[in-house]
Structure 1
Amino acid sequence: MSNIKLNIENLTSLWQKASEPFNAYFKEPQFDYSFIKHSDWPNRLWFDQEITEEIVSSAKEKIVSISKKMIIPYWDIYNNDSCEILKRKGFHVKFEQIGMSLKREQLFESLNNVHLKKVTTEQEAKLWSILFFNSFGYNLHSGISNSLQKNTDFYIAYHLHEAIGTGILYTTNGISGVHAVGIIPEHRRKGYAAEIMKMLINQSIKMKSKLITLQSSNMGKGLYLKLGFEEQFVMKNYALSQ
Structure 2
Amino acid sequence: MNHPTSLWKANISNQTALWQRMGCEALSIKGEGWLQSLSWPYKLWPESGKTALTIRDLVEAQPHLHARTRVPFWSQNEVTLPWQQQMPPVSSEQILMYQGLQDQPQTPRQQNPKGIRLNSVQTPSQLYAWWQICEQAFAYEIDIQVIQHLARQADLLLLLAEKDNEAVGTAILFTTGQVAGLHQLGVAQAAQGQGVARAMMHQLLAIAGECRAQWMTLQASSKGLGLYEQLGFSRQGVVRNYSPKNTELA
Alignment TM class, shorter chain as reference: 0.7 to 0.9
> SS state of the match for residue 227, structure 2?
helix
What residue number does 1:25 align with?
A: 25
| 2:95 match: secondary structure | strand
Partner of 1:124: 126
Cα distance in 1 between the residues matched to 2:208 and 2:34: 28
User: Is the 8 Å Cα contact of residues 98 and 215 (structure 2) preserved in structure 1?
Assistant: yes
Tell me whether 76-85 or 91-100 shows the greater mean CA deviation: 76-85
Q: String of CA shifts for 1:60-80, please: whole Å, max 9, x gaps.
A: 245531313211111113963
Equivalent residue for 1:195?
Answer: 199
Q: Secondary structure at the match of 2:232?
A: coil
Contact 1:10-1:172 within 8 A present in 2 as well? yes
Give the count of matched residue pairs. Answer: 230
Which residue type is aligned with residue 35 of structure 2?
Answer: Y
In structure 2, the residue matched to 1:230 is 234
1:102 alignment partner in structure 2: 99
Q: 1:57 to 1:157 in 2, by over 3 A?
A: same
Range moving further from structure 2, 5-14 or 57-66: 57-66
Task: Measure, in 1, the Cα distance between the counterparts of 2:37 and 2:60.
Answer: 15
The answer to whether the 8 A contact 2:114-2:196 is kept is: no
Percent identity of equivalent pairs: 27
Q: Which residue of structure 1 aligns with residue 63 of structure 2? A: 64
Stretch moving more, 103-112 or 184-193: 103-112
1:125 counterpart letter in structure 2: L
How far apart, CA to CA, are the structure 2 residues paired with 1:73 and 1:231?
Answer: 18
Amino acid at match of 2:167: A
Say yes or no: does 1:152 pair with 2:156.
yes
Counterpart residue number, 1:83 = 84
Q: Distance in 2 between matches of 1:212 and 1:44?
A: 23
C-alpha root-mean-square deviation of aligned residues, in Å? Answer: 2.1
Unaligned 5+ segments in structure 2 are none
Q: Counterpart amino acid of 1:83?
A: Q
1:173 Cα offset (Å)? 1.0
Aligned partner of 2:44 in structure 1 is 45
Per the alignment, residue 11 of structure 2 pairs with 7
